[in-house]
Structure 1
Amino acid sequence: MSTEPDAPTRRTYSYLGPAGTFTEAALAQVPEARGQNWRSVRNVGEALADVVEGRADAAMIAIENSVDGGVSTAQDALATMPGLRIVGEYLVPVDFVLVARPGTRLDQVSLIAAHPVAYAQCLQWLTEQLPAHAHVPAASNVASAMGLLEGTSDADAAIAAPGILEHHELELLAAHIGDNERAVTRFVLVARTVAPPPPTGADKTSLIVELPEDHPGALLELLEQFATRGINLSLLASRPIGDELGRYRFVIDADGHIEHERMADALMGLRRFSPKVIFLGSYPRADHAIVRYPQRYSDDVFVEARDWLRGLISGEPDA
């Protein structure tokens, strides 16, 4: 009988592929994912289904872009697929390159393949450098470049993420062609439901909250759950629930951790107010920025107020 210890089980991470995408660049930032199995998938729904159905331990998905806002497909998937929890966030600068088949020169380019979002973010550069060009839409940033190599695209060049050059032999015609040099995409690592990691002081809590029946001030009531407890919101995005006109859910990122008294109190307020609150997780912020708040919203103040109320109920004399 063998006395060799069992080899550690390799973990599997799903990401929007193929190789060379911004999502792959985000997954490369996860220390525990290095040297593990990376499973390339075709869309966000497939990535999250891998987690729910046990094919992957976690999935990396894009959730927000500094230029285009929230990624609606990801937000809707998190709202409708139970059993998921965000365990971390990662920021990837959005940079684009113009690539072509080997031997192509920039002055030979007239037709450019690009995903519509990438094309829109490079339009100023394209207008200045290639004013007579035409655009053919592509399914993804990688697909735009792969079409050139596979001969399935009539385009002369493609807009892609810089990582494509690490995996394929392509001619680099121009780098840093994005119009907004500070553009960034926020990614989240999603696992099956687990307990949140301990607070670090630089944390974020993500939620999806449905409004109750439509009435004047409903959104204000939702926001007051945070404002009256000194909690700042870094993201507030509305998405239609889809069952009828006028019904919305709100995707929320709040500064702080569920183990903080003020956040826990806000979540209880939301639970009383909303017909459906989805807790997506409390996790460290990618920018490591310490969450600041007035002293009157510290944990000690909430604990003292609760103890004071208990004393009133029990008949203790006022101090």
Structure 2
Amino acid sequence: MAPHRLPVSARAAHLRGVAKMTSSSLNQSKDEGNNPTPDPVMETRAQLDALDDQLIALIRQRAVISAAAQSARIAIGGSRTDLARENRIIGRYHQALGSAGRDIALNLLHVCRGHIFRTPAAKPRHAFLGPRGTFSETALLTLCHPEDGSQVAMPSVDAAVAAVRSGEADDAVIPAENTVTGPLYASLDSLALGTPPVTITREVCIPVHFVLAAVPGTRLGDVRTVATHPQAHAQTLTWLKEHLPGVRYQPTASTAEAAQALLTSDARHSAAICSSDAAERYQLNVLADNLSHGPQAHTRFVEIARQATTPAVNPTGNDTTSLVLYTGHQDPLAVIDDLASHQVELIRLHSRPDAATIPEGGYLWLDCRGHIADRRLSRAVSQLKRRGKLTVLGSYPTV
């Protein structure tokens, strides 16, 4: 039987219908390719990005308002920071968000004090034991670029630490220990005692070399009085006994202060033991150099900041943790045993006596190898807390 054939007009209409359907299907496929099914992950990430943009804008706005509040306080004679208010803010975040909230508050305060969104007026202030030309200034410039904020000379270690506590300075660099004469107890006491607590953020060791300097025209045989810091005097005593026996010693707050003082008095028979930088700064003549005990003399300096507004320093693998245990009359050997039982290496131990100037009844200063985040050290600290009040002064790297 011959196949049934549609009339030409009918076949044409049929083909047009097929073509229309095919075109419609192709267009639908094309549309579907241009408009894929929404990705829920991408949608939520876009929402999070939008929230982050809002948070960043709010934080920047808070930083501006915080700077205005700071300027208003300073204008009426107040300090740069309001410690009571900052502690309330930290407590509020901690109560609302737990331990993570405390970290958020600390970082937020850090930002609002000008550490990230800096303006020329909000650059950090770095305190050091002055005047200009001290080894403390050298240590500070080793840690901080000269253009990174301002350097503020302080008349004493206590004044430098107090400036950090009050918010007058953002941080300070002070001497902690010398390889010849040992620890500087004035520095340790300033850090261990007083409130609010401070934290050590970094340490640096620098070589210490002394010169004997005097005003132009003074010769070595003319010197009757030598002025310097007690630590410098102790480190150069052997040289003094050999070359200037019987000379009168005048203590000063720093080696650079001794050099500076020669410019403001009748100094024809006086000299200062100071750094070569200080001698050059105050335009003094060097009568003798290499006064210290050999080339191995170094002083260790620590950088400190206020604990409440300084985020913890992350482990570097080359860290020291400083602890202060207010022991009263406890046996230091028992404390050493506690550390040894957790295989914690003790680098330094300093015992301060029971004295009227230490109301806590004395303390032990412990420098341990490692970071507080290390499991063994963390467990050792927990055990030491059972012996009395313990303060962690920071886990920090050596620069």
User: TM-score, length-normalised on structure 1?
Assistant: 0.79
Q: CA deviation at 1:229?
A: 1.3
Give how far 1:188 is off.
Answer: 0.5
When residues 153 and 138 of structure 1 are mapped into structure 2, their CA distance, relative to the original with a 3 A threshold, is farther
Give the match for residue 185 of structure 1: 299
Distance 1:114 1:219 in 2: 34
Cα 1:159–1:200 change in 2 (3 A) is same
- Code of the residue aligned with 1:267 in structure 2: it is V
Q: Work out whether residues 240 and 246 of structure 1, in 8 Å CA contact, stay in contact via their aligned partners in 2.
A: no
Matched, 1:231 2:344: yes
- What is the rounded CA distance, in whole Å, between the counterparts of 2:360 and 2:192 in structure 1? 17
Structure 2 residue matching 1:29: 3-state secondary structure: helix
- Equivalent in the alignment of 2:230: 116
Q: 1:179 to 1:46 in 2, by over 3 A?
A: same
Q: For 1:156 and 1:87, how far apart are their aligned partners in 2?
A: 39
- Give secondary structure in 2 for the equivalent of 1:172: strand
Highest relative contact order (Cα 8 Å, sep 6+), 1 or 2? 1
Q: 1:258 to 1:124 in 2, by over 3 A?
A: same
Aligned to 2:272: 158
Q: Are the equivalent residues in 1 in contact too, given 2:181–2:235 (CA < 8 A)?
A: no
- 1:130 pairs with 223, 227, 244, which one? 244
Equivalenced residue count is: 277
Q: Which structure 2 residues correspond to residues 242-281 of structure 1 after superposition, within 5 A?
A: 242=355, 247-272=361-386, 274-281=387-394
- Distance (Å, rounded) in 2 between the aligned partners of 1:162 and 1:39: 21
Instruction: State whether structure 2 residue 215 is matched by structure 1 residue 94.
Output: no
1:63 equivalent among 176, 179, 184: 176
Aligned partners of 1:23 and 1:32: how far apart in 2? 14
Distance in structure 2 (CA, Å) of the matches to 1:176 and 1:170: 16
Q: CA shift at 1:123, angstroms?
A: 2.3
- 2:245 corresponds to 1:106: no
Give 1:129 shift. Answer: 3.0
Aligned-partner SS, 1:28 = helix
Partners of 2:170 and 2:190 in 1: CA distance? 17
Instruction: Please list, as runs of the form range in 1=range in 2, the aligned pairs for 1:215-230 lying within 5 A after superposition.
Output: 218-230=331-343
Q: Percent of pairs identical after alignment?
A: 36
Question: Superposition RMSD on alpha carbons, in Å?
Answer: 2.4
Aligned residue for 1:174, secondary structure, equals strand
Q: What is the rounded CA distance, in whole Å, between the counterparts of 2:360 and 2:314 in structure 1?
A: 38
- Check 1:199–1:148 CA distance in 2 against 1; reply closer, same or farther (3 A cut): same
> Which ranges of 4 or more aligned residues in structure 1 deviate by more than 6 Å?
none
Letter in 2 for 1:177: L
Whose helix proportion is higher, 1 or 2? 2
| Deviations 1:131-166 (CA, angstroms, capped at 9, x unpaired) | 4x5123131312322232211556332211222034
Residue of structure 2 equivalent to 1:42: 155
Structure 1 residues 16 and 152, CA gap change in structure 2 (3 angstroms)? farther
Moved more, 76-85 or 182-191: 76-85
How far residue 242 of structure 1 moved from its aligned partner, in angstroms, is 3.0
Q: Residue 282 in 1 paired to residue 398 in 2? A: no
Paired residue secondary structure (1:104) = coil
Instruction: Supply the AA of the counterpart residue of 2:306.
Output: R
Partner of 1:7: 119
Task: Describe the shift of the 1:275–1:111 C-alpha distance in structure 2 as closer, same or farther (beyond 3 A).
Answer: closer
**Candidates 170, 173, 185, aligned match of 2:287:** 173
Is 1:136–1:155's contact at 8 Å kept on the other side of the alignment? Answer: no
Taking a change above 3 Å as real, the CA distance of residues 59 and 242 of structure 1, as seen in their structure-2 partners, is same
Matched residues in 2 for 1:62 and 1:15: separation? Answer: 9
Distance 1:14 1:245 in 2: 27
**The one of 315, 323, 338 aligned to 1:199:** 315
Q: Which amino acid aligns with 1:203?
A: D
Question: What TM-score, normalized by structure 2, do the two folds share?
Answer: 0.64
Change (3 A) 1:10 1:245: closer
Runs (5+) with no aligned partner, structure 1: 287-319
3-state secondary structure, aligned to 2:142? coil
How far is the alpha carbon of 1:238 from its aligned partner? 0.4
CA distance in 1, matches of 2:159, 2:241: 36
Query: Using a 3 Å threshold, how does the CA distance of structure 1 residues 183 and 89 change in structure 2: closer, same or farther?
Result: same
| CA drift at 1:23 | 0.7
Q: 1:233 to 1:108 in 2, by over 3 A?
A: same
Q: Which amino acid aligns with 1:7?
A: T
- Residue type matched to 2:312 in 1? P
1:221/1:130 CA distance change after superposition, 3 Å? closer
SS in 2 for 1:48: helix
Aligned: 1:74 with 2:190:
no
SS at match of 2:321: strand
1:214-261: CA deviations, max 9, x gaps? 46xx32321122101111111100012535999431001000001110
Q: Using the alignment, how far apart are the partners of 1:115 and 1:249 within structure 2?
A: 26
Closer, same or farther: CA 62–6 of 1 in aligned 2, 3 Å: closer
For residues 245 and 19 of structure 1, the distance between their equivalents in structure 2, rounded to whole angstroms, comes to: 34
Counterparts of 1:195 and 1:166, CA distance in 2 = 39
- The residue type equivalent to 1:210 in the other structure is Y
Secondary structure of the 1:91 match is strand
